Amino acid sequence: MTLRYVAEIRDPVHGYIKITEEERAIIDSPFLQRLRRIHQLAGAYMVYPGGVHTRFEHVVGTMHVAGLIAESIADKANLDEEQIQELRLAALLHDVGHGPFSHLFEEVLTEKTGLGHEEISQRIVLESDIREILEKYGTSSKRMSQLCVGKQKTHAFMNEAIAGGLSADIMDYLLRDSYFTGVEYGKVDIHRVIHSLDVMGDHLVLDQAALYAFEALLIARYEMFKAVYFHRTVRAAELMLAHSMSLADEELGLTNISRIDAYLKLTDEVVVYRLTSLPRQNPRLRLARKLAENYNNRKLVKCVFEKVMQRKDRVVEKIFSQKRFRNELIGDIARQANVDATSIYVDVPTTPSVPHTYTRQALNSITLVSEDFSGKHSEKISITELPLVGSITGFTDVLRVYSAPEQRNKVARAVQTIFGREELASRVGSDGLS
C-alpha cells in the first residue's frame, strides 16, 4: 500500500523525505512556512550554537516518521491509504499552532489565557486556509483538527502515533535536537521501535524483544532534558525572554488570540524586534525592553543556587507545583538580600521526565506483545518495573535561583540563609510560605 508521491525534501536527519500532493499544498501554505521562523529549541542556541533548527524541519520530519509507523502497522491495523495519509498530515500539522520561541512562548500563553499550542493548532486547522486545502483533497478538517493533537475519537492507536511515548513526535525531536546541538544522548534506534510496533485492543503495543529500544528512547529523552532542554544557561536565557514577553503582553497583545491572523504574524524575530523597540518611559516596559536587549546580547542572569529537592516534603511540593508559592519565595529572597524582586527568578521543571500519553496522563505502563505456537500474547507492565526507566519517572526535581549579575553575591547569600533553615520547613504557614 503506497501513497503517490510528487516531490521530495532532503533532510539531514532522515535523508530524502517524499511528500504527496496534499502534503505539498499544506507545506507551501503560509501557515507551515511561518514555522521556518520559529526556533525548535527557543533559546538553546545561546549555549549550543548549532541549535538553530526550526519547527518547520521538525514537523516535516515528524510527518516522515508517522508515515513509517503507519506503514509498519498498516497490515496489523487494517489501515487503508486514506488513513495513512491522515496520519502523515496530522503529524505535519501537530505544531502549526506554536507561537514564537515554541514552548517558551507557551509558558506565557498558558499563564495569561490558560491555553496551549494544541488548542491554537486546532483553531488554525479549522479557521485558516488549511481547512480549504484539506477539504479540497477530501480530508475532514474537523477530524484532522482532533487527530493532529492526538484527540480524535475513533482509533486510540492513531492518537498514540501522534502524541506520547511511542509517538512520531518524540522520535523525530530526539534525533533532530541531538543532531543540531551536537549532544550525543538523543541518538537512538527509532527504526527498531517502529518495526516492532503492533496494534492490539486498539492501542499501540511493542514487541517484547524491542523493549530495550523503548527504554533507550525514554532514557535518551531524560538525558536530553538535563543536557539541553533544562540546561541552566539555556533556562537563564529563556527566563529572561519569557519575563520580557509577560511584562510587555498588555502593550503588544502577544497573547491576544481573538484574531488568529494577528497571532500568525508572531515569529521569533518579530517578537524580539517589538520587545527591543518598547518605549522607555514606563518602568514595566523599560524592564521588558532591557531584558530583551540583554537576551539579544547574551547578557544573561546567573544561576546562584541549584539543588535537587524531594517533592515528598510538603513545602517543596508547593513550590514546585504552584507559581504563587515560587513568587512568595522570590519576595522572601528579595527582602533578605535587599534587592528588587524583579531581578530574581526561581525556576523548576514543569515537564515530566517521562513523556505523557496522548490523554495527557503520566506514562505509567507499556503493553508488550510476544508470539509463540499458540498465538500472540500481550502483557501490560508498569514503567516502574523497568529498572532504569522506573528511576526517572515523575519530574526532575531541581530548583534553581537566578539573579542579575550585579546582585548575584547578595542574592546567593540570601538564598543560602533561607535554604539553611531546615529546607524551608520553618517558613510554612497555614496557607503557604511564612
Q: What does the alpha-carbon distance between residue 135 and residue 346 come to, in Å, rounded to a whole number?
A: 47
Residue 16 counted as domain residue: yes
Look at phi and psi of residue 78 and say left if phi exceeds 0, alpha if psi is from -120 to 50, else beta: left
pLDDT at 374 over 50: yes
pLDDT at 40 over 50: yes
Structural domains of the chain, count: 1
Question: What is the rounded average pLDDT of the residues 242-252?
Answer: 95
AA letter at 226: K
Residue 423 counted as domain residue: no
Angle between the N-to-C axes of helices 283-296 and 268-276, in degrees from 0 to 180, rounded to the nearest 10 = 130
Among 272-286, 322-336, 352-366, the range scoring the smallest mean pLDDT is 352-366
Residue 155 counted as domain residue: yes
pLDDT at 388 over 80: no
Q: What does the alpha-carbon distance between residue 313 and residue 325 come to, in Å, rounded to a whole number?
A: 14
The pLDDT of residue 425 = 39
The pLDDT of residue 162 = 96
Strands in 208-325 per DSSP E: 302-308
- pLDDT band at residue 358 using 50, 70 and 90 as cut-offs: low
φ, ψ (nearest 5 deg) of residue 85: -65, -40
The pLDDT of residue 357 = 67
- pLDDT band at residue 422 using 50, 70 and 90 as cut-offs: very low
The pLDDT of residue 361 = 66
The pLDDT of residue 392 = 62
Most confidently modeled range among 142-151, 309-318, 343-352, 424-433: 142-151
Question: CATH no. for residue 15?
Answer: 1.10.3210.10
The pLDDT of residue 360 = 66
- Mind spelling out the 3-state secondary structure of 10-73? EECCCEEEEEEHHHHHHHCCHHHHHHHHCECCHHHHHCCCCCCCEHHHHHHHHHHHHHHHHHHH
Residue 116 counted as domain residue: yes
Beta-sheet pairing, 197-200 with 344-347: unpaired
DSSP state of 161: H
Following DSSP, what letter does each residue of 181-230 receive, concatenated? H--GGG---HHHHHHTEEEETTEEEEEGGGHHHHHHHHHHHHHHIIIIIT
The pLDDT of residue 261 = 84
Question: What is the rounded average pLDDT of the residues 405-409?
Answer: 93
Report percent pLDDT > 90 for the chain: 67
Q: Which helix (H) or strand (E) holds 7?
A: strand 5-11
Strands in 238-364 per DSSP E: 302-308, 344-347
Residue 85 counted as domain residue: yes
pLDDT at 91 over 60: yes
Question: What is the rounded average pLDDT of the residues 330-359?
Answer: 85
Q: What does the alpha-carbon distance between residue 369 and residue 376 come to, in Å, rounded to a whole number?
A: 7
Report percent pLDDT > 70 for the chain: 90
pLDDT at 30 over 90: yes
Residue 364 counted as domain residue: no
Q: Which helix (H) or strand (E) holds 372?
A: strand 365-372
φ, ψ (nearest 5 deg) of residue 253: 65, 40
Mean confidence (pLDDT) of the chain: 89
Domain extent, residue 39, equals 5-231
The pLDDT of residue 325 = 87
The pLDDT of residue 384 = 74
> What would the pLDDT profile of 277-315 be if each residue is shown by its tens digit?
999 999 999 999 999 999 999 999 999 999 887 666 666
> What would the pLDDT profile of 182-240 be if each residue is shown by its tens digit?
998 888 999 999 999 999 989 999 999 999 998 899 889 889 998 999 999 999 999 99
pLDDT at 263 over 50: yes
The pLDDT of residue 356 = 65
Residue 97 counted as domain residue: yes
Residue 352 counted as domain residue: no
